[in-house]
Amino acid sequence: MSTPRLRVVKTRLSAGINEPIQRADRASVSHRQKVTETYAVLHLEAFAGWLRAAARPESTIYLRTYQVRRIAGQIPNLPSVDGETLTQWLGSQAWKPDTKRSYRSALTIYFGWLHASGRITSNPTLGMPIVTGSHALPRPATDESVQQALATADDRVRLMIRIQATLGLRRGEVARVHTRDVVRDFEGHSLRILGKGSRERLVPLPRGLAAVLLAQPAGWLFPSPAGGPLTPAHVGKLISRALGPGVTPHQLRHRFATRAYAQGQDLLAVQQLLGHARPETTMIYTQVPTASKRFIVDAAA
């Protein structure tokens, strides 16, 4: 039989153990409430529904709603601000031109929808300056970094790397590979890809990779425990971790473009394989072989 003093000690110990759990529960509830309130204030559920009605990919919907939420975290009362506030905010960000251009695009789409849906009376983004994209040289991943990653990664990540390096897919396209997308063609098999802008393309599969994909269980190649495929962000994180510091999954796409262009210097074919809408974009990805440039310079000398 416990004494009153012992019962008090037990009660205090129990309270001490439960207090961190209760604080964590309160913090979790508070976070969910904050997210819900943010969605309500910004009308993000309706915005996401509008993007779906326009047949935008889920990856694009996730990106745009994430960007709007991030901007709203720095600009209070976002839907009611003026164009000068948006321009000053964008100008204050120490980002690369491509990142600024992406966030400007998110703002123009979001405020265009607010205006078109009657939630605001004018569109403050109409006077925002155009952001010129960068013209950096292609940065293909080195063969050494790819081979090292293939040698050290587990089976699942090794297959992710192999698909992206061999076919030049975007990380979101790697994430959404499904066994039903492996189709027969006249010379073997191809992989059907639904890319940006809902543009569909067929990428020929080397025989070895085709055999590996055909041997996989039916369904998503990289399923999520929550159902459906893994998110593009998670796939990118796994590949980045395997590639090591300084090498990104996107550089595997640059590597594919460079190697593909070197085979026949057919820019149109490379453009179609990468799923680009314009050849100018493909040119950013392809590094012209040094030997080709040296041959031209020597011939012109």
pLDDT in tens, 206-236: 999 999 999 999 999 999 998 999 999 999 9
* Sequence spans of domains, the chain: 43-116, 143-300
pLDDT cut 90: percent of the chain above it: 58
Output the pLDDT for position 277: 79
Distance CA(48)–CA(59), nearest Å, equals: 11
pLDDT over 60 (residue 8): no
Active-site entry in 170, 171, 189, 259: 170
110 is catalytic: no
Active-site entry in 196, 201, 234, 237: 196
Amino acid 137 reads L
Q: What angle do CA 106, 86, 129 make, to 5 degrees?
A: 75
**SS3 (DSSP) at 189:** strand
196 is catalytic: yes
Beta strands 189-194 and 182-184, pairing class: antiparallel
Q: Does residue 49 contact residue 117 with C-beta atoms inside 8 Å?
A: no
285 is catalytic: yes
Output the pLDDT for position 10: 47
Active-site entry in 101, 115, 139, 250: 250
Output the pLDDT for position 18: 52
Distance CA(73)–CA(171), nearest Å, equals: 27
26 is catalytic: no
pLDDT cut 70: percent of the chain above it: 81
Instruction: Give the pLDDT band of residue 285 (cuts 50, 70, 90).
Output: confident
Instruction: Give the pLDDT band of residue 136 (cuts 50, 70, 90).
Output: low
Output the pLDDT for position 31: 46
pLDDT over 60 (residue 23): no
Q: What is the mean pLDDT of residues 270-288?
A: 80
> pTM higher than 0.75, yes or no?
no
pLDDT over 70 (residue 152): yes
pLDDT over 60 (residue 38): no
Q: Does residue 179 contact residue 221 with C-beta atoms inside 8 Å?
A: yes
pLDDT in tens, 161-199: 999 999 999 999 999 999 999 999 988 999 999 888 778
Amino acid 285 reads Y
Active-site entry in 43, 253, 254, 255: 253
Letter string b/e over residues 101-132, b meaning 16 or more CB atoms within 10 A of that residue's CB: bbbbebbbbbbebbbeeeeeeebbbeebeebe
Active-site entry in 103, 110, 261, 285: 285
What is the gyration radius of the CA atoms in the chain, in angstroms? 25
> Which is the CATH superfamily of the domain at 143-300?
Intergrase catalytic core (1.10.443.10)
Alpha-carbon torsion (121, 127, 131, 132), positive or negative: positive
Range among 58-72, 76-90, 269-283 with highest mean pLDDT value: 76-90
